[in-house]
């Protein structure tokens, strides 16, 4: 009997470049893991019990029946957890009864979201904790396996997405990420292929490569204190893709050129190349927002960008429409002035740094 207790934590994420385009094949993006974490504590218990205090869900009981999680009292917020559990059960079978406590630093104390990818961190940390408790040590050490399991759970829950946030939470650091062929994954799931066989397959198109930010380039994050509503924005971009494919294709091409420029700068240590690429990506996203009638750059995000740009480069992070903006600054002594100007227009500087290590036992 496993009497040990484990704590697993996974970092949140910020998109650096390649937003919206990353959902398409052969499109590069840059994503980073940040040093804010979601933690999962797991230990043996008399029955399966789950605590999610940040979601006001406590003493949630469940059982496993024929590879599926059955909750004693179902709540709509448990839908995502159910897909995580079902994916684990199909991959590993059952486990001894456990008590699981989830805690998170990924949202503000007020409950407002920063946009740091809490669902991705949850799936990565939750699955890693279950694998560790079930003594699946080989799988715990294999980050690609964790990434694939979390991506399967995500696709079962949502049916779309790039899973770049899952890569950041799993691997940590700065990543050059290309998504896998999502149609391929959905086909495998619909065919009824086992989770184990899907995990062991090569996923077409997937690329996860570590990058190193030059030490002399300073990274800043500003929070607008506005929550983005991502789903309607993504839907409008999909509409542009179907109604005006030539405009969408032009966006993909300009995004790819910009991100390639940034990746080249990361690899060579060329700060000007990184900042030029960032500005190009900002322009591509801004035009996409106009053409798709999507408020990617809100008034606060425009203020954030325009304040920081004279000192380097700045853009939205993620879908836009709120949440965070980011900047790369060359001169460290300008940072305090940028923060003061941000504060004057209602933007809160977040002291976020890269989390070099992804999901880990602590």
Q: What is the mean pLDDT of residues 221-235?
A: 93
Helices 143-158 and 118-133: crossing angle, nearest 10°?
130
pLDDT confidence of residue 195: 97
Q: Is the pLDDT of residue 112 over 80?
A: no
The beta-carbon contacts of 70-77 under 8 Å, at least 24 apart in sequence, are: 77/52
Strand partners, 71: 62
Give how far the C-alpha of residue 212 lies from the chain's centroid of Cα atoms, to the nearest Å.
Answer: 19
Q: Is the pLDDT of residue 144 over 80?
A: yes
> How far, CA to CA in Å, does 155 sit from each of 22, 294, 345?
16, 25, 38
Q: Are 160 and 76 in contact, with CB atoms under 8 Å apart?
A: no
Q: Which band of pLDDT confidence, cut at 50, 70 and 90, is reported for residue 223?
A: very high
Q: Are 330 and 20 in contact, with CB atoms under 8 Å apart?
A: no
Q: What is the mean pLDDT of residues 137-155?
A: 91
Q: Give ∠ CA 104-147-125 in degrees, rounded to 5.
A: 25
Q: What is the mean pLDDT of residues 248-268?
A: 99
Pick the closest to residue 171 from 115, 120, 116, 100 (CA basis). 120
Q: Which band of pLDDT confidence, cut at 50, 70 and 90, is reported for residue 136?
A: confident
pLDDT confidence of residue 111: 62
pLDDT confidence of residue 109: 67
Tokens 């086992």 — which residue? Answer: 194
Q: Which band of pLDDT confidence, cut at 50, 70 and 90, is reported for residue 2?
A: low
Pairing of strands 29-44, 98-104: antiparallel
Q: Which band of pLDDT confidence, cut at 50, 70 and 90, is reported for residue 141?
A: confident
pLDDT confidence of residue 139: 72
Residue-wise pLDDT for 308-321, tens only, equals 999 999 999 999 99
Q: What is the mean pLDDT of residues 91-100?
A: 92
Domains of the chain: 6-211+356-361 (3.30.230.10), 218-349 (3.30.70.890)
Q: Is the pLDDT of residue 191 over 80?
A: yes
Q: Could you give the dihedral angle defined by the CA atoms of residues 144, 148, 154 and 157, in that order, rounded to the nearest 10 degrees?
A: -160
Q: What is the mean pLDDT of residues 143-167?
A: 96
d(CA 269, CA 263): 10
State the average pLDDT for the chain: 95
Q: Is the pLDDT of residue 147 over 80?
A: yes
Q: What is the mean pLDDT of residues 146-158?
A: 97
Q: Is the pLDDT of residue 94 over 90?
A: no
Tokens representing residue 133 in the block: 């408790």
Least confident stretch, 3-17, 50-64, 134-148: 134-148
The pTM for the full model equals: 0.96
Tokens representing residue 87 in the block: 């994916």
Tokens 């899973």 — which residue? Answer: 163
Q: Give ∠ CA 284-288-290 in degrees, rounded to 5.
A: 120
Helix, strand, coil percent content, the chain, rounded in steps of 5: 45, 25, 30
> How far, CA to CA in Å, does 212 sit from each of 175, 231, 268?
8, 32, 10
Q: What is the mean pLDDT of residues 289-318?
A: 98
Residue-wise pLDDT for 195-209, tens only, equals 999 999 999 999 999
Least confident stretch, 87-96, 210-219, 326-335: 87-96
Residues with Cβ < 8 Å from 103, sequence gap 6 or more? 38, 39, 41, 53, 54
Q: What is the mean pLDDT of residues 84-98?
A: 93
Least confident stretch, 108-112, 128-132, 216-220, 295-299: 108-112
Q: Is the pLDDT of residue 269 over 80?
A: yes
């Amino acid at each position: 009997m496993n009497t040990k207790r484990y704590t697993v934590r996974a970092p949140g994420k910020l998109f650096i470049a390649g937003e919206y385009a990353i959902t398409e094949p052969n499109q590069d993006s840059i994503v980073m893991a940040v040093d804010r974490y979601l933690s999962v504590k797991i230990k043996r218990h008399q029955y399966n019990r789950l605590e999610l205090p940040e979601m006001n869900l406590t003493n949630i009981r469940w059982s496993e029946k024929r590879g599926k999680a059955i909750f004693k009292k179902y709540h709509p917020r448990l839908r995502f957890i159910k897909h995580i559990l079902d994916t684990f059960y199909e991959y590993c079978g059952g486990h001894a009864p456990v008590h699981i406590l989830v805690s998170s630093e990924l949202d503000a104390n007020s409950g407002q979201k920063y946009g740091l990818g809490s669902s991705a961190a949850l799936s990565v940390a939750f699955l890693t904790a279950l694998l560790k408790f079930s003594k699946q040590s080989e799988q715990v050490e294999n980050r690609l396996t964790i990434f694939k399991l979390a991506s399967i759970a995500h696709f079962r829950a949502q049916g779309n997405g790039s899973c770049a946030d899952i890569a950041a939470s799993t691997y940590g650091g700065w990543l050059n990420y290309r998504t896998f062929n999502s149609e391929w994954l959905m086909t495998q799931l619909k065919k009824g292929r086992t989770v184990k066989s899907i995990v062991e397959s090569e996923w077409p198109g997937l690329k996860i490569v570590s990058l190193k930010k030059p030490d002399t380039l300073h990274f800043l994050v500003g929070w607008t204190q506005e929550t983005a509503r991502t789903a309607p924005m993504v839907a409008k971009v999909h509409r542009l893709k179907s109604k005006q494919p030539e405009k969408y294709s032009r966006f993909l091409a300009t995004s790819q050129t910009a991100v390639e420029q940034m990746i080249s700068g990361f690899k060579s240590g060329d700060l000007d190349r990184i900042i030029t690429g960032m500005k190009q990506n900002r322009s591509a996203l801004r035009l996409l927002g106009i053409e798709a009638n999507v408020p990617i750059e809100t008034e606060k995000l425009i203020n954030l960008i325009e304040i920081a740009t004279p000192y380097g480069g700045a853009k939205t992070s993620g879908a836009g429409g709120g949440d965070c903006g980011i900047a790369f600054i060359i001169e460290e002594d300008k940072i305090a002035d940028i923060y003061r100007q941000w504060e004057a227009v209602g933007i809160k500087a977040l002291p976020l740094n890269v989390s070099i290590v992804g999901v880990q036992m602590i």
